[in-house]
Chains A and B, each alone.
Chain A
Amino acid sequence: MRCQQCDKQAMFHITELETGEVREVHLCEDHARNYLNQSEGASQPSESAGPLGVAQTAEELSELDQKVCEMCGITFFEFRNQGRLGCPHDYVQFEQELEPLIANIHGAVEHTGRRPQRPSDSELPESTESLTQVIGLRKGIREAVEQEDYERAGALRDQINKVLDNWHAEQQTADGTDSAQPSESPSNS
């Protein structure tokens, strides 16, 4: 069965029982999420809020759409279309844009649950942003190889390995175990 709003396979089959009447809605995952989020926040329906609940004019929206993640290269427009982000860095890159959307979905903008376990003597990491840099570095290698700039590709490779080595060293101090190192293979072109 196809989604009622696009061509994808319908994954969600929602039975609405609003006015004592039964109504079936068949949607793909993306549209179902939108649909459920809408019906959840139905107490304040705002047509002007735009698809993301971010109130803005057409010009503002098109400017926003062109923002690009410097790690994975996804544009905000692509995200709006697919409903999926490209990499962990998007939450930093698009933080301002995502905030109203996340507030709309969850009614909150701050994580209060579990955090990664770290040894008591080290500071909690602000985030795993340093590791996420690797995504952008890998993209840089692909571009360097395309331009046949192998020196630059090699330098970037070294940088990646340094970041991954740092993480590995941290882990070892954390639990004292020796886990296999997540180093990069040079076959990444």
Chain B
Amino acid sequence: MIKLDSLTNSIGEWLKGTGPESDIVMSSRVRLARNLAQYPFVGRASDQERGEVQQFLRSRLMQLPSRLPLDYVDVGGLGELDRQFLVERQLISREHAEAAGSRGVAIDTHEQLSLMINEEDHLRIQCVHSGLDLESVWRQISAVDDEIETVVPYAFHSRWGYLTACPTNVGTGIRVSVMLHLPALVITRQIDKVFRSLHKISLAVRGLYGEGSQAFGDFYQISNQTTLGKTEQELIAQVADVVPVLIDYERRARDFLVRETEQNIHDQVSRAYGILRTAQTISAEETMQLLSRVRMGVLLGLLDDVDVSDVNLLLVRTQPAHLQKLRGVELDTKDRNIERARFLRKYFESGSAEAN
């Protein structure tokens, strides 16, 4: 799979660490759920119907009127490692990776767009940009959606809107999410308060997960819960309006840490950096936790020999499937932890230059 191997050495849009407010906002994402009118939803389709849906959508997506350059990956034909790799890059969902039957994903060259075929819905279009950039994400994804609609009959009902397999997505079929790095709110134990207030305005908060299910780092995804009764712009605004408030809280918490506990926070950050540079075996979870601390330390000016871009790169390259693909062999958990530690030591030794 040439395409996947070429991705290994790039970083992927969501961790590029550029764009507005990228010291706190990792990425902005919008996804749209769509279904074909002339087929049962994926869960109820026969194998043959699923195959037809995949073929139908694939042929249309790969030849859109604008000739949008997409690479198609037959997810059903991939091994577990490659599927996990796509999950780590956030190009497909964990559910899509673990499902069975005909399914695929079309990915654009910049890894901003990914179009999953036969996920829970026939088509799930996703667009991701680095930093806080929901407006332009929306512009891009709605243009793609419009274009697909000229060649694909989406299931639509005048009252219920775009019809989806699960009623929780019906109407706009939109999920707007922003991924935030909030280490100072976690350290100062204010994150509970923030979550509570977000739940009150019906926004969902999810941690970002690594290997297994344990929450890692201090990365949180804020997204809308409802999809019907509001326009796409209103739902985007619901998420977008709260982000500057969270950014402000996090910045204040970071200022507070530097002002009031400088020695302590400097110590924590330096220890995290020390472990990453010297450990002999390290889990994905611990790595994320420590990289999160280091990332904050760099942004607070407490570490001067690391760049934020290094940390972002390591966040993705130390994930299990990335690590194995970079190494070129499959490894069990124990060997992965050893390889991860080796990879980190080498990366920092070479003065943040190429470690592979």
Interface residues of A (CB under 8 A from B): 1, 9-15, 17-18, 20, 22, 26, 29, 33, 36-37, 39-40, 71-72, 74, 82-88, 91-92, 98, 101-102, 105-117, 124-129, 131-132, 134-135, 138, 163-164, 167, 171, 174-175, 177, 179-180, 182, 188
Q: How far is the CA of A82 from the CA of B165 in the complex (A)?
A: 10
Q: Contact: B172 with A83, CB < 8 Å? A: no
Which residues 153-203 of B sit at the A interface, judged by CB distance below 8 A?
153-163, 165-168, 170-172, 174, 191-192, 195-196, 199, 202
Q: Contact: A85 with B165, CB < 8 Å? A: yes
Q: Contact: B40 with A72, CB < 8 Å? A: yes
What's the minimum C-beta distance from A133 to chain B, rounded to whole angstroms? 9
Give me 17 A-to-B residue pairs in the complex whose CB atoms sit less than 8 angstroms apart, sorted by A's number: A1-B212, A9-B98, A15-B207, A39-B199, A40-B225, A82-B43, A84-B43, A85-B166, A88-B155, A88-B163, A106-B229, A111-B161, A111-B172, A113-B161, A113-B235, A117-B150, A171-B150
Q: Contact: B166 with A84, CB < 8 Å? A: yes
Q: Contact: B142 with A114, CB < 8 Å? A: yes
**A92-B157, A135-B38, A179-B60 known; 18 other A-B pairs, CB under 8 Å?**
A13-B209, A26-B213, A36-B204, A84-B44, A105-B226, A106-B227, A110-B159, A110-B229, A111-B161, A111-B172, A111-B229, A128-B153, A128-B157, A129-B37, A132-B155, A163-B38, A171-B150, A174-B150
Q: How far is the CA of A37 from the CA of B204 in the complex (A)?
A: 11
Q: Which of B37, B156, B170, B196 has the most CB of A within 10 A?
A: B37
Q: A20-B192, A114-B142, A117-B149 are in contact. Are A105 and B168 (CB under 8 A)?
A: yes
Q: Contact: B226 with A108, CB < 8 Å? A: yes
Q: Contact: A131 with B228, CB < 8 Å? A: no
Name which residue of chain B comes closest to A104, CB basis: B167
Query: Quick check: is B112 within 8 A (CB to CB) of the other chain?
Result: no
Specify which chain B residues have a CB less than 8 angstroms from the CB of A88 in the assembled complex.
35, 37, 41, 155, 157, 163
Name which residue of chain B comes closest to A108, CB basis: B229
Query: Quick check: is B68 within 8 A (CB to CB) of the other chain?
Result: no
Specify which chain B residues have a CB less than 8 angstroms from the CB of A26 in the assembled complex.
213
Q: Contact: A128 with B37, CB < 8 Å? A: yes
Q: How far is the CA of A10 from the CA of B212 in the complex (A)?
A: 10
Q: Contact: A87 with B44, CB < 8 Å? A: yes
Name which residue of chain B comes closest to A185, CB basis: B52
Q: How far is the CA of A29 from the CA of B60 in the complex (A)?
A: 30
Specify which chain B residues have a CB less than 8 angstroms from the CB of A14 in the assembled complex.
206
Name which residue of chain B comes closest to A175, CB basis: B150
What's the minimum C-beta distance from A9 to chain B, rounded to whole angstroms? 7
Q: Contact: B44 with A86, CB < 8 Å? A: yes
Q: How far is the CA of A9 from the CA of B206 in the complex (A)?
A: 17
Q: A85-B41, A117-B149, A177-B150 are in contact. Are A108 and B168 (CB under 8 A)?
A: no
Q: Contact: A116 with B171, CB < 8 Å? A: no
Q: How far is the CA of A17 from the CA of B199 in the complex (A)?
A: 10
Q: Contact: B229 with A15, CB < 8 Å? A: no
Q: How far is the CA of A174 from the CA of B149 in the complex (A)?
A: 11
Q: How far is the CA of A27 from the CA of B62 in the complex (A)?
A: 36
Specify which chain B residues have a CB less than 8 angstroms from the CB of A182 in the assembled complex.
38, 56, 153
What's the minimum C-beta distance from A165 to chain B, rounded to whole angstroms? 12
Specify which chain B residues have a CB less than 8 angstroms from the CB of A129 in the assembled complex.
37, 157
Name which residue of chain B comes closest to A1, CB basis: B213
Q: How far is the CA of A181 from the CA of B161 in the complex (A)?
A: 25
Q: Contact: B157 with A91, CB < 8 Å? A: yes
Q: A83-B166, A117-B149 are in contact. Are A111 and B59 (CB under 8 A)?
A: no
Q: Contact: A10 with B213, CB < 8 Å? A: yes
Query: Quick check: is B231 within 8 A (CB to CB) of the other chain?
Result: yes
Query: Quick check: is B23 within 8 A (CB to CB) of the other chain?
Result: no
Q: Contact: B41 with A86, CB < 8 Å? A: yes
Name which residue of chain A comes closest to B170, CB basis: A102
What's the minimum C-beta distance from A78 to chain B, rounded to whole angstroms? 9
Specify which chain A residues have a CB less than 8 angstroms from the CB of B213 in the assembled complex.
1, 10, 13, 26
Query: Quick check: is B20 within 8 A (CB to CB) of the other chain?
Result: no
Query: Quick check: is B6 within 8 A (CB to CB) of the other chain?
Result: no
Specify which chain B residues have a CB less than 8 angstroms from the CB of A82 in the assembled complex.
43
Q: Contact: B156 with A127, CB < 8 Å? A: yes
Q: Contact: A72 with B44, CB < 8 Å? A: yes
What's the minimum C-beta distance from A166 to chain B, rounded to whole angstroms? 11
Closest 7 CB pairs of A and B: A108-B229, A111-B161, A128-B37, A88-B155, A131-B37, A106-B228, A86-B44
Query: Quick check: is B230 within 8 A (CB to CB) of the other chain?
Result: yes
Q: Contact: A22 with B192, CB < 8 Å? A: yes
Q: Contact: A29 with B95, CB < 8 Å? A: yes
Specify which chain B residues have a CB less than 8 angstroms from the CB of A174 in the assembled complex.
150
Q: How far is the CA of A37 from the CA of B228 in the complex (A)?
A: 14
Name which residue of chain A comes closest to B192, CB basis: A17
What's the minimum C-beta distance from A21 to chain B, rounded to whole angstroms? 9
What's the minimum C-beta distance from A40 to chain B, rounded to whole angstroms? 6
User: Among A11, A33, A84, A177, which residue has its beta carbon within 8 angstroms of that of B94?
Assistant: A11
Q: How far is the CA of A33 from the CA of B120 in the complex (A)?
A: 14
Q: How far is the CA of A15 from the CA of B208 in the complex (A)?
A: 12
